[in-house]
Amino acid sequence: MIGNETANITVEAIASSTFRGFELRKFAMEQIATLPNYNWCGVYILDGNQLVLDAYIGAATDHVRIPIGRGVCGTAVAENANQIVEDVSKLENYLACSLTTKSEIVVLIRDASGEILGQIDIDGHAVGAFDESDEEFLESGGKLLAERWL
């Protein structure tokens, strides 16, 4: 759950920065990692049939390459749909990054024609940390990243 004002301030910070490409994605992850519950924040880039870890803030993860269909991240691409997981312990198709993670949201990043470029993945330490307000916020952020992808 993210408030409107916090979402707007954060999106505005990303929009008004002059970065592009990896630098912009890194800056965006730094911004959103300051928000409550946004405990691990990263971008995965779709490269063929795999997701490849790009800019991230948080603990190093083993999951630097994720095949489509695996875990929450791979499921988002396979189903062409954002994922909000209230309680990751209830999922069978889950790739654990950290034992402290309880909930997760994955929002797809698309180019102007709707093709998937990658995704924003956020892990939270509380059950039910994310809802549609976070999805909407991350959609706005993802759009900015897509516009300055390279």
- Kindly tell me which of 15 and 68 has the beta carbon lying closer to ligand SME: 68
Among 6, 17, 50, 61, binds ligand SME (CB under 6 A): 61
Is residue 72 a contact point for ligand SME (CB under 6 A)?
yes
Instruction: State the minimum distance, in angstroms, from the CB of residue 108 to ligand SME.
Output: 13
Is residue 108 a contact point for ligand SME (CB under 6 A)?
no
Q: State the Cα torsion 49-55-57-63 to the nearest 10°.
A: 20
What lies within 8 Å, CB to CB, of 38 at 6+ separation is 32, 122, 124
Instruction: State the minimum distance, in angstroms, from the CB of residue 9 to ligand SME.
Output: 25
Which residue is closest to ligand SME by CB?
71
Q: Within 13 Å and on the Cβ side, how many CA atoms surround 114?
A: 2
128/111 Cα distance (integer angstroms): 29
Q: Which listed range, 5-13, 15-23, 89-97, 127-135, lies at the site for ligand SME (CB under 6 A)?
A: 89-97
Among 11, 25, 35, 40, binds ligand SME (CB under 6 A): 40
CB 146 within 8 A of CB 111: yes
